[in-house]
Amino acid sequence: MTLNGGDVLLVTSAASVQFTKPVRFRVIKDVTDAATFDGWRWIDGYELDAKGEAVRRRRIFVRSEGLRVAHRAVGDDRVRLPAR
């Protein structure tokens, strides 16, 4: 699954046992250059509250197969990171 900045995920225990309660998570960056186990990935982003507001920045380690996309960022809604 390809993730883009601004995508919102529903992260549950299917993605990792640390998520006993579902968490809505807005992607900043899929950290594809980090070494992981097969089928796992690191994702930088923000945990969202019930209103969809960012409450905490996190880097999560999850199983790709367990992720569910709640909302795809499109057009001008997509988060754009400055070039380095």
- Residue-by-residue DSSP string for the chain: ----TT-EEEE-TTT-TT-SS-EEEEEEEEETTS---TTEEEEEEEEE-TTS-EEEEEEEEEEGGG-EEEE---GGGS--PPP-
Domains identified in the chain, total number: 1
pLDDT of residue 36: 81
What is the domain extent for residue 21? 8-77
Is residue 83, in this structure, part of any structural domain at all? no
In this prediction the pTM is 0.82
pLDDT tens for each residue of 5-26: 999 999 999 999 999 999 999 9
Is residue 3, in this structure, part of any structural domain at all? no
Both structure tokens of 42: 């690191």
Residue 5 to residue 62: CA distance in whole angstroms: 17
Is residue 66, in this structure, part of any structural domain at all? yes
pLDDT tens for each residue of 21-80: 999 999 999 987 777 888 999 999 999 999 999 999 999 999 999 999 999 987 654 445
Is residue 84, in this structure, part of any structural domain at all? no
Is residue 1, in this structure, part of any structural domain at all? no
pLDDT of residue 78: 47
Residue 20 to residue 18: CA distance in whole angstroms: 6
State yes or no: pLDDT of 83 exceeds 80. Answer: no
pLDDT of residue 82: 54
Is residue 82, in this structure, part of any structural domain at all? no
